[in-house]
Amino acid sequence: MNAKARAWIIGMALAAASGAAHAWPDKPVTMVVPFPPGGATDSVARAVANKLQERLKQSFVVENKAGATGTIGAAQVARAVPDGYTLMVTSLAPLVVAEHLMKDLPYAPAKDFTYLTVAVQAPNVLVVSPSLAPKVGNVQDVLSLLRSRPGAVSFATSGAGSSDHLTAELFWQKTGTKGLHVPYKGGAPAIADLLGNQVDMSFQNVNAVLPHIKAGKLKAIAVTGNTRSQVLPDVPTFAEAAVPGLVVYSWQAVVAPKGLPADLRNQISAALTDAIKDPAVSKPFTDVGLEVVANSSDEFTRFQRQESARWKEVIETGNISIQ
C-alpha cells in the first residue's frame, strides 16, 4: 500500500469516527426519572427533554420508574448500554444518600454512572404550620420551642433519607436539639398536613412551598442557602440567624450508565447544559426559586463525591435508617 492510499484510508476512518460522534441522537433517547410524575425532578426532566427535542430534532422520552427512594430506576439505568440513549434525571437521593441508608444497593453510585451535569439546585426553607406561626417568628423561637419540648416538635418530611429529612437531622446536630421525624410518601402529602396543622414544621424545597409562603399560609423562618433566595429576599439564611454550617441544597442532575465514551459524554453534556441555560427553560426554574447550575461532567463527578461523604457523616452521626 502506497503512502497516498494509506493517507486516504486513515482520512476516511477519521471522518467516519467524527461522523459517528456527531450523529447522536439518531434515534429516540429515554430519560428515566426514578420518581413518580409531577414532582420537581419530573418537571425538570420534561422541560429539558422538550428543549433537547426541539434543538436536536429527535424524540426525548421521559420514563418514570419510581420506587425504593429512586433506587429502582437508578439500578435500571446503571445496567443499560452506555450508548447515549438511556439517561437518568434524578435528585440527590439515589446518587449520594441511598448507599449510606440501604443494604445491598444494586449499584455503586460512584462507579456505575457517567456524571453529566447538575441541572439546578435550590435551598431548603424551614416553614412552620399556620397554628404555630403566631408563636414562632425566627430561628431562636424555633430553638426555644425545641428545647422546651425535646423530641416532641414534629417535622414533616417527604420520606426517610430525603433532602428535607437530612436537613432536619443536620439542623438538630448543629443546634444540639431534637425533633420528631414524621416521614410521608412524598412532599405533597407532607405539605398538605403542614397546612392542615397536623405537623408543626418542615424543611422543604423553596420551589415546593413558595406559593404557600407568598399566600401567607406558611411562615418561612430561614433558608439553607449560602445567600438569601432571590424569591424570598426577606427571609434570612441560617448563618444570619446564628446557625452556621447549615448550608443544604437539593438538586436535580443528569447521569448516564458507566462506560459512556468520552467524546459522546462531552457531546451530551454540552447539549444538556446549553438546553438548561436556554431562557425558555431557565426562567421558569428561577421564577420558582431554583438556581441554574449546568456544570461540567468533571465538576459534577467531584461534587458527587463531596456530597456523598458529607451525607454519610450526617447519617452515621444521627444513626439514621430507613426502617
Out of 31-40, 197-206, 276-285, which region has the weakest mean confidence (pLDDT)?
Answer: 31-40
Average pLDDT, integer, range 180-190: 89
| Summary mean pLDDT of the chain | 92
The pLDDT score that the predictor gives to residue 38 is: 83
Asked whether residue 241 is assigned to any structural domain, the reply reads no
Asked whether residue 150 is assigned to any structural domain, the reply reads yes
Asked whether residue 242 is assigned to any structural domain, the reply reads no
CB 168 within 8 A of CB 157: yes
Range of the domain at 281: 28-121+251-318
User: Which span out of 98-107, 120-129, 184-193 was modeled with the highest average pLDDT?
Assistant: 120-129
The pLDDT score that the predictor gives to residue 1 is: 52
Asked whether residue 18 is assigned to any structural domain, the reply reads no
Same domain as 277, residue 208: no
Domain count across the chain: 2
Position 22 confidence tier, pLDDT thresholds 50, 70, 90:
low
Average pLDDT, integer, range 178-185: 92
Cα–Cα distance measured from residue 203 to residue 222, given in angstroms and rounded to the nearest whole number:
9
Same domain as 138, residue 105: no
Same domain as 216, residue 72: no
Same domain as 138, residue 110: no
3-state DSSP helix/strand/coil % of the chain, to nearest 5: 45, 20, 35
CB 90 within 8 A of CB 33: yes
CATH no. for residue 132?
Answer: 3.40.190.10
The radius of gyration computed from the CA coordinates of the chain, to the nearest angstrom, equals 22
Same domain as 117, residue 258: yes
Average pLDDT, integer, range 92-102: 94
Nearest Cα neighbor of 287 from 217, 231, 206, 227 is: 231
Same domain as 113, residue 35: yes
Using the predicted structure, report yes or no on whether residue 323 has a pLDDT greater than 80: no
The pLDDT score that the predictor gives to residue 14 is: 41
Same domain as 219, residue 127: yes
Using the predicted structure, report yes or no on whether residue 101 has a pLDDT greater than 60: yes
The pLDDT score that the predictor gives to residue 243 is: 96
Asked whether residue 21 is assigned to any structural domain, the reply reads no
Asked whether residue 9 is assigned to any structural domain, the reply reads no
CATH no. for residue 62?
Answer: 3.40.190.150
The pLDDT score that the predictor gives to residue 15 is: 41
Give, for 297, the enclosing helix (H) or strand (E).
Answer: helix 297-318
The residue to which cell 420528631 is assigned: 180
Position 12 confidence tier, pLDDT thresholds 50, 70, 90:
very low
Same domain as 127, residue 179: yes
The pLDDT score that the predictor gives to residue 2 is: 54
pLDDT in tens, 117-160: 999 999 999 999 999 999 999 999 999 999 999 999 999 998 88
Same domain as 200, residue 140: yes
Same domain as 194, residue 204: yes
The pLDDT score that the predictor gives to residue 16 is: 44
pLDDT in tens, 42-56: 999 999 999 999 999
Asked whether residue 3 is assigned to any structural domain, the reply reads no
